[in-house]
Structure 1
Amino acid sequence: MNDTILHDERIAKMTFASVYPHYVTKVEKKGRTIDELHKVIQWLTGFDQKALQKLIDEKATFEQFFQEATLNQNAHLITGVICGYRIEEIKNPLTQKTRYLDKLVDELAKGRKMDKILRTI
């Protein structure tokens, strides 16, 4: 088993609830709001705040999280490097979706304009 398979399995089993506080901290440290974070998450997944809280309370894994999500049709426009991986080259669909979310949170924290983050034209 190679490192990529282990990495993909680790992401699949990680809970959204364990990562969400880090997203909040990251964006708030950079002067962004939880509402903006929720807007970004909702754009990608379709989850409103109530649905997010349910997934957090249930300690849903990223595998469960993205099984329930309705991925935005423009998610494929999310490109670039995050955590050392070029998003558009990631082969595992779940890992790619998770990195989409990481990239959006990163862009929010870096002060990118919301219309650019949400890939509106």
Structure 2
Amino acid sequence: MITIYEEQRKGAVADTIEHSHASFEECLEVIQRMDGFTRSQVTIQYRENMIMIGGGGHEFIVTVETRTAIHNLLGSLEEEEEFAELTVGGQACEFPQKYIVRLELVESALLQLLADTSAELNWEVIEK
């Protein structure tokens, strides 16, 4: 079962909209609504995994937390020291450029995680 938690900010206050028994298509619709301002964080619970997506518009970060590790989706494999500012959960943060991905990579990651398809994705794995 897929449950989506969509955050919608109204100034300093955030409402969380829960979508139970969601489909892959609904996940994509919610993520496509992310604008990086009033909608900058979506969490998807699937099995025992939490998939957290931050940002919006054209730039996202994707983190998957399992019982044993944290997985960060990597966009660029180049060793860049540049940082990009991205709003997640209403908070502007700086992230290493390697974590910033486009919507197409978010979709590929969701297909891999929710539909068990194989995809050529690069993940940074941090053991707990």
How would you bin the TM-score normalised by the shorter chain?
0.3 to 0.5
TM-score, normalised with respect to structure 2: 0.31
The structure carrying a bigger helix percent of its residues is 1
TM-score, normalised with respect to structure 1: 0.33
More relative contact order, 1 or 2 (CA 8 Å, 6+ apart): 1
The structure carrying a bigger strand percent of its residues is 2
